[in-house]
Amino acid sequence: MSKRLILTDIEGTTSSIAFVKQVLFPYARSHIAKFIAEHGEEPDVRRWVEAASEDLNSQSDRDTVRGLIGWIDQDRKHTALKALQGLLWKHGYAAGDYRAHVYADAVESLRRWHADGHTLAVYSSGSVPAQHLFFGYSEAGDLRPLFDAWFDTEIGGKRDSDSYRRIANELQRNSAEILFLSDVVEELDAARDAGCATALLDRRSDYAEARHGEACHGHPRYERFDEINPNQP
Ligand SMILES: CSCCC(=O)C(=O)COP(=O)(O)O
Ligand SMILES: [Mg+2]
Q: Which domains does the chain have, with CATH numbers?
A: 5-16+101-227 (3.40.50.1000), 20-94 (1.10.720)
Distance 200 CA to ligand 2 centre (A): 10
Ligand 1 close to Cβ of residue 11 (< 6 A): yes
Q: Name the residue of 79, 125, 159, 180 to mutate for ligand 1: max ligand atoms within 8 A of Cβ.
A: 125
| ipTM metric | 0.97
Quick check: pTM over 0.90? yes
The predicted-structure confidence for 2-48, as pLDDT tens digits, reads as follows 799 999 999 999 999 999 999 999 999 999 999 999 999 999 999 99
The protein residue whose alpha carbon is closest to atom 3 in ligand 1 is 126
Please tell me the number of the ligand nearest to residue 183's CA. Answer: 2
pLDDT tens digits, 203-230:
999 999 999 999 999 999 999 999 999 9
Calculate how far, in angstroms, residue 31's C-alpha sits from the geometric centre of ligand 2: 24
> Is the CB of 133 inside a 6 Å radius of any atom of ligand 1?
no
Q: Can you spell out the DSSP letters for the chain?
A: -PPPEEEE--BTTTB-HHHIIIIIHHHHHHHHHHHHHHHTTSHHHHHHHHHHHHHHT-SSHHHHHHHHHHHHHHT---HHHHHHHHHHHHHHHHTTS--B---HHHHHHHHHHHHTT--EEEE-SS-HHHHHHHHHTBTTB--GGG-SEEE-GGG--TT-HHHHHHHHHHTT--GGGEEEEES-HHHHHHHHHTT-EEEEE--TTT-SSPP-GGGGTT--EESSGGG--TT--
